[in-house]
């Protein structure tokens, strides 16, 4: 599989490539520019041999595939009935907040954070409490457990991004356990977005927070999907793992006619991704790690004024542009380099000097984006 090939995605209905004029190189939304794994494509073709595409329900084979995947990859033992299928992680977050959090309670979010997580509490008129990450001397972002426990809202909720977007942080076992136990003491619901769980570098292992103890699992809604790792986000399929039956029933009741069932092709693709997609994923993760290292070297050697802590996960780099002296870095690179990056302000009110760059693309595209950015800085007035 040659991941260096650049595919033409203009005029294909791609959100990533339609957001900006055609001369802009899009490196913003979390959508990889790699072809989908051949087994997934073949399975979709096979499914379309049948002429009916009516309402679909998850088959037992899919449930068994996911149960097996979670056990083998994360040593997480769940039951098939613990799975709730959804058209996306974001609807699941909002379902959980509306159905499971008291209107008088607050929601804690570690910042910076993925904008739909930041915005979700306000959708339900729930107050939000922000707790900022601080980088240590090694460029990591450890959770200050004492500060977390102090900030956790009694009887409220924690919105966890694990692995973290946009920092690319992988939570360690003891850190996650301390977070979970703090939530136990404060009677806090854990809503964990684990959509990037299969995209880890340097041999790291993802740990679902609900896998750490029965007590933590009993207060957790874990949201996962094949969409990021296998690049099938457009098929709008995700799943929640809710091991507490009472919590699961209340969570499902939160659909309220707004969160629909999952489409037939998304269910098909999800099963094949987890059943047959490991070889493709291993190749892609190795390629992404090479892109990450190339990007880190370029930032260190060619971009004075920009700094970047090495992502441990995802294919998203969080770039600190505060040394450039620009009022609005995202707008500068869009207007002068014709490169579209995600604006740091989407991830937190104090992140205006940051941009998020998607390096989930063929190396020639990454090289072109960095060359454009470098020229724009060299030629600025």
- Residues 56-65 have pLDDT tens digits of 999 999 999 9
Residues facing 161 on adjacent strands: 193
Mean pLDDT of 289-296: 98
Q: Which domains does the chain have, with CATH numbers?
A: 15-31+278-378 (3.90.1150.10), 42-276 (3.40.640.10)
Supply the DSSP symbol for 52: -
Q: Give, in order, the Cα–Cα distances in Å from 176 to each of 57, 112, 163, 182.
A: 33, 18, 11, 10
Nearest to 246 by CA among 68, 102, 106, 99: 99
Please answer whether residues 351 and 345 qualify as being in contact, where contact means their C-beta atoms are separated by less than 8 angstroms: yes
Strands (E), the chain: 25-26, 83-86, 107-111, 128-132, 157-161, 189-193, 220-224, 238-241, 307-308, 316-320, 339-340, 342-343, 354-358
State how beta strands 220-224 and 189-193 pair: parallel
Mean pLDDT of 32-36: 97
State how beta strands 157-161 and 189-193 pair: parallel
pLDDT recorded at residue 139: 84
Instruction: Say if residue 61 is exposed, middle or buried (CB neighbours under 10 Å; 0-12, 13-18, 19+).
Output: exposed
pLDDT recorded at residue 23: 97
Task: Kindly report the backbone phi and psi dihedral angles of residue 235, in degrees, each rounded to the nearest multiple of 5, phi listed first.
Answer: -85, 0
Supply the DSSP symbol for 165: T
Q: Give, in order, the Cα–Cα distances in Å from 321 to each of 168, 220, 343, 355.
A: 17, 36, 11, 7
In the predicted structure, residue 164 carries a pLDDT above the cut 80: yes
Residues facing 240 on adjacent strands: 84, 223
Instruction: Say if residue 173 is exposed, middle or buried (CB neighbours under 10 Å; 0-12, 13-18, 19+).
Output: exposed
Residue 111 neighbours by CB distance under 10 Å: 17
Instruction: Write out pLDDT tens, residues 121-134.
Output: 999 999 999 999 99
Instruction: Report the mean per-residue pLDDT for the chain.
Output: 97
pLDDT recorded at residue 1: 77
In the predicted structure, residue 46 carries a pLDDT above the cut 90: yes
Residue with tokens 């090939």: 5
Q: Which residues contact 103 (CB under 8 A, 6 or more apart)?
A: 124, 125, 126
Q: CA 32, CA 11: separation in Å to the nearest integer?
A: 17
Instruction: Write out pLDDT tens, residues 199-234.
Output: 999 999 999 999 999 999 999 999 999 999 999 999
pLDDT recorded at residue 19: 97
Supply the DSSP symbol for 1: -
Res. 17 pLDDT band, cuts 50 70 90: very high
For the chain, count helices (H), then strands (E).
13, 13
Strands laid side by side in the 220-224 sheet? 83-86, 238-241, 220-224, 189-193, 157-161, 107-111, 128-132
pLDDT recorded at residue 284: 98
Please answer whether residues 340 and 356 qualify as being in contact, where contact means their C-beta atoms are separated by less than 8 angstroms: no
Instruction: Say if residue 108 is exposed, middle or buried (CB neighbours under 10 Å; 0-12, 13-18, 19+).
Output: buried
pLDDT recorded at residue 95: 97
In the predicted structure, residue 54 carries a pLDDT above the cut 90: yes
In the predicted structure, residue 381 carries a pLDDT above the cut 80: no
3-class state of residue 241 by DSSP? strand
pLDDT recorded at residue 271: 98
Residue 264 C-alpha from the chain's centroid: 23
pLDDT recorded at residue 180: 98
In the predicted structure, residue 287 carries a pLDDT above the cut 90: yes
Q: CA 190, CA 244: separation in Å to the nearest integer?
A: 12
Task: Kindly report the backbone phi and psi dihedral angles of residue 86, in degrees, each rounded to the nearest multiple of 5, phi listed first.
Answer: -140, 160
Instruction: Write out pLDDT tens, residues 357-376.
Output: 999 999 999 999 999 999 99
Tokens encoding 226 = 């094949």
Mean pLDDT of 240-252: 98
């Amino acid at each position: 599989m040659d991941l260096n090939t650049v595919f033409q995605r203009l005029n294909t209905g791609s959100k990533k490539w339609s957001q900006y004029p055609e001369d802009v190189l899009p490196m913003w939304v979390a959508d990889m520019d790699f072809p989908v794994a051949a087994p997934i494509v073949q399975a979709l073709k096979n499914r379309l041999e049948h002429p009916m595409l009516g309402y679909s329900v998850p088959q037992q084979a899919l449930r068994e595939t996911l149960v097996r995947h979670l056990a083998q990859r994360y040593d997480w033992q769940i039951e098939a009935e613990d799975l709730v299928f959804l058209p996306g992680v974001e609807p699941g977050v909002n379902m959980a907040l509306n159905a499971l959090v008291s209107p008088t309670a607050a929601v804690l979010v570690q910042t910076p954070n993925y904008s739909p997580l930041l915005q979700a509490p306000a959708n339900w008129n729930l107050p939000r409490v922000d707790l900022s990450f601080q980088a240590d001397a090694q460029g990591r972002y450890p959770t200050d457990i004492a500060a977390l426990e102090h900030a956790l809202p009694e009887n409220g909720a924690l919105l966890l991004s694990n692995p973290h977007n946009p920092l690319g942080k992988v939570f360690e076992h003891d850190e996650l356990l301390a977070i979970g136990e703090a939530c136990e003491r404060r009677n806090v619901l854990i809503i964990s977005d684990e959509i990037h769980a299969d995209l880890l570098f340097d041999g790291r292992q993802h740990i679902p927070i609900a896998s750490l103890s029965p007590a933590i699992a009993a207060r957790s809604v874990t949201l996962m999907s094949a969409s990021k790792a296998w690049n099938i986000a457009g098929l709008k399929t995700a799943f929640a793992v809710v091991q507490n039956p009472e919590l699961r029933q209340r969570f499902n009741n939160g659909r309220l006619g707004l969160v629909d069932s999952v489409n037939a092709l998304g269910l098909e693709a999800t099963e094949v991704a987890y059943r047959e997609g490991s070889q493709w994923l291993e190749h892609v993760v190795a390629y992404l790690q090479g892109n990450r290292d190339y990007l880190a070297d370029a930032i260190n050697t060619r971009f004075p004024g920009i700094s970047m802590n090495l992502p441990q996960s995802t294919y998203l780099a969080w770039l600190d542009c505060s040394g450039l002296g620009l009022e609005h870095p995202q707008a500068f690179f869009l207007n002068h380099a014709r490169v579209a990056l995600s604006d740091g302000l989407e991830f937190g009110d104090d992140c205006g000097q940051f941009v998020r760059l998607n390096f989930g693309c063929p190396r020639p595209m990454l090289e072109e984006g960095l060359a454009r950015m470098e020229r724009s800085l060299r030629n600025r007035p």
